[in-house]
Amino acid sequence: MATKQKSGGLGRGLGSILPDIDLETVKPVADTISMVPLAQVTSNPFQPRKEYDETALEELAQSIRQQGVITPITVRHMPDGSYQLIAGERRTKAARRAGLKEIPAYVRTATDNQMMEMALVENIQRADLNAMEVALAYRSLIEECRLTHEELSEKVGKDRSTITNYLRLLNLPSETQLALSRDVISMAHARALAGVDDIERHLEILHEVIDRKLSVHQTEQLVKSGKGKPKVAVRRRGDLPETHLAAQSRLKERLQSTVEIKRSQRGKGTLTIAFNNDSDFERIMAIIES
């Protein structure tokens, strides 16, 4: 029988946020915490968080050297004997830096969909994901679990309009997405820029916003003032053949990063994959080379 949870907001418990999960199946295998070899702990492929502050990681590693890991991570036992992270990626990274060989962990049983949902909810509650990470996480949940925007809003306790606004960020040019993921611009800036369909004009405004450090209101005024300007003929996403569009979508999903394909009428083009830092680059390369 599924464990009953009290209703409420985002922190109301997995049972009410994810009603299809039988919580008896995701309880620890034992009442005690297991010590898991760090060498056997693998990353969560559904982890929405892509960036980690190096200074904060080192501070946590120093704390772990002195006091150990206070809060256990959560993993699931895989058929090959490894332990795949559900929650606790940052603690695991810091424990490795601290030189630990083992880490305390709850071992749970979960399907891929349950694992993705738990990782998403756990990370969103931390409130430190950047807007692009949240958008990618929402898209993964919608596509993998075949949810509507309404169903997703119910699961994560967010308004449907909020879900839609995040997903719209995925249609922005890669340069704008990168600026947003690095907190160079805010989500409100990005929403204003989303109203500019002409790519050249869009990027022109983006650079002006960054160079002049414009406020959101100033950005909105700049967007409005430029709507009467003649548009320059540019190649749009729709000009790509279906095969290229499908490949771009698959790469975005597999790499969990911004991917952009540009192609000339003669078939010549470029494939651009964005990464946020050295760790993200190594993650992407590991996926490509696997």
Q: Is the pLDDT of residue 88 over 80?
A: yes
Q: Average pLDDT for residues 56-65, to the nearest whole number?
A: 90
All structural domains of the chain with their residue ranges: 14-166, 184-225, 239-289
131-145 and 149-156 helices cross at what angle (nearest 10)?
120
Beta-ladder partners of 271: 261
Provide the 10 A C-beta neighbour count for residue 197. Answer: 11
Rounded-to-integer distance, Cα 218 and Cα 28, Å: 52
Bridge partners (DSSP) listed for residue 75: 85, 107
Residue 41 backbone dihedrals phi, psi, to 5 degrees: -90, 125
Question: Residue 249 has what pLDDT?
Answer: 82
User: Which of residues 145 and 264 earns the better pLDDT score?
Assistant: 264
Instruction: Provide the 8-state DSSP code for 8.
Output: -
**Positive/negative CA dihedral, 262, 268, 273, 278:** negative
Count of helix runs (H) and strand runs (E) in the chain: 13, 7
Q: Are 205 and 226 a contacting pair, CB within 8 Å?
A: yes
Provide mean pLDDT across the span 91-109: 91
Residue 144 annotated as catalytic: no
Q: Give the per-residue pLDDT at 6.
A: 37
List 51, 58, 89, 117, catalytic entry: 89
Instruction: Determine the average pLDDT of the residues in 8-16.
Output: 35
Architecture of domain 14-166: Alpha-Beta Complex (3.90)
What whole-number distance in Å separates Cα of residue 107 and Cα of residue 31? Answer: 10
Residue 233 has pLDDT above 50, yes or no: no
Q: How confident is the model at residue 217 (pLDDT cuts 50, 70, 90)?
A: very high
Encode pLDDT of 256-265 as tens digits. 888 888 888 7
Token readout for 84 is 């795949």
**What pLDDT band is residue 122 in, cutting at 50, 70 and 90?**
low
